[in-house]
Amino acid sequence: MTLINIYNELIRAASVSGRENKISEKIISLITPFVDTVEKDSLGSVAAVRHGKAGAKRLMLVCGMDTPGFFATFFENSGMIRIAPVGEINTDSLIYSALKFENGTQGFLVSDGKKGSEASFWVDIGAKNIKDAKKKVSQGDFCLPVGGGRLMSGDIYGFGVSSAIVTALVVEIAQRIYNLEGEYEMIYLFTAQSRMGARGAAPAAMKFEADAVLTFDGMSEGVNIGDGPVLKIKDGSYISSPRLVQTLRDIADDFDIKVQNAVQEKNPSSLLALQMSLCAPAVSVAIPVKYRSTMGEKINIKDAEKLIDLTLAFAKRG
């Protein structure tokens, strides 16, 4: 399957943090032919392993598989369903956008017009009253914006595209590494609740040992889409291994892959959790994203393809 085909499968299975069953089942079906073992842990994270040669080093590739979204908190007598966000999401940008609940019920997001923490949001599912609404949606049901994933001259835009493309590129790497006699044993982690402060990363990684870790993410601050993958040298919680950063830079030079360097004050990734639990050198790489967590979220497919090339060259180099 091509990267775009994998992406198309995954964007249709987009799942909100904490309710990743749909996306995890899709990942399992896509990656199973290319690995030796696949399993889910108690939080729903997926771990897949492709064994290497005897004594092979262990390379762990990690990405979150969830997107931010909403959940139903309260039913008004009118049948409007009050919602609250799950993960960091630009709710103001989603007003009047279509939302879909896990059971397929659709509605659109409305607001009381207030700003910031004062604002309240509801989903209008067309219910006549509270009784009618409760027949279709239950308190605690999760929902997410729909209609994402349109391709437009090399860019893909829509809600949740960065999560889907990052997950797709890790699946694509697994597919292309399958037939290689690399120096590494490959461990692929697709973590749950990544948009809730990387909650799933540490428990998912705990049962494995790794010699090096690459985490994959999307990032929007200080980078441009179409200018190549990003080496996240520092984020809100962690400094990437200088040795691994230099190795990736050397490979990028050798293969003429243009990369962007990023130093962030905010946006903690799963890197800290993984470093603390694995005690292994780790580096965070990303694809640049524009308008993150909005209906206009946008990525460039070439950035993803270049990140795949960079990672494959890293794995082959050993």
Nearer residue to another protein within complex by CB, 65 or 156: 65
Within 10 angstroms of residue 172's Cβ, the number of other Cβ atoms is: 26
CB of 39 to another protein, least distance (A): 12
Nearer residue to another protein within complex by CB, 98 or 196: 196
Q: Is residue 123 classed exposed, middle or buried when 0-12, 13-18 and 19+ CB atoms within 10 A define those classes?
A: buried
Angle of the 21-31 helix axis to the 3-11 helix axis, nearest 10: 150
List Cα–Cα distances, 25 to 22, 31, 47, in angstroms. Answer: 5, 10, 12
CB of 86 to another protein, least distance (A): 7
CB of 2 to another protein, least distance (A): 33
CA–CA separation, 147 and 182 (whole Å): 39
The H or E element spanning position 105 is: none
Nearer residue to another protein within complex by CB, 197 or 296: 197
Nearer residue to another protein within complex by CB, 42 or 153: 42
Sheet of 150-152, strands arranged across = 150-152, 155-157, 298-300
8 A C-beta contact, residue 17 and residue 66: yes
CB of 66 to another protein, least distance (A): 10
Nearer residue to another protein within complex by CB, 21 or 29: 21
Q: For binding to another protein (CB under 8 A), which residues are involved?
A: 17-19, 21, 41-43, 71, 73-74, 76, 82, 84, 86, 139-140, 193, 196, 199-200, 202-204, 206-207
CB of 141 to another protein, least distance (A): 9
CB of 71 to another protein, least distance (A): 6
8 A C-beta contact, residue 6 and residue 168: yes
Residue type, 273: A
CA–CA separation, 259 and 255 (whole Å): 11
Nearer residue to another protein within complex by CB, 202 or 285: 202
| SS3 category, 306 | helix
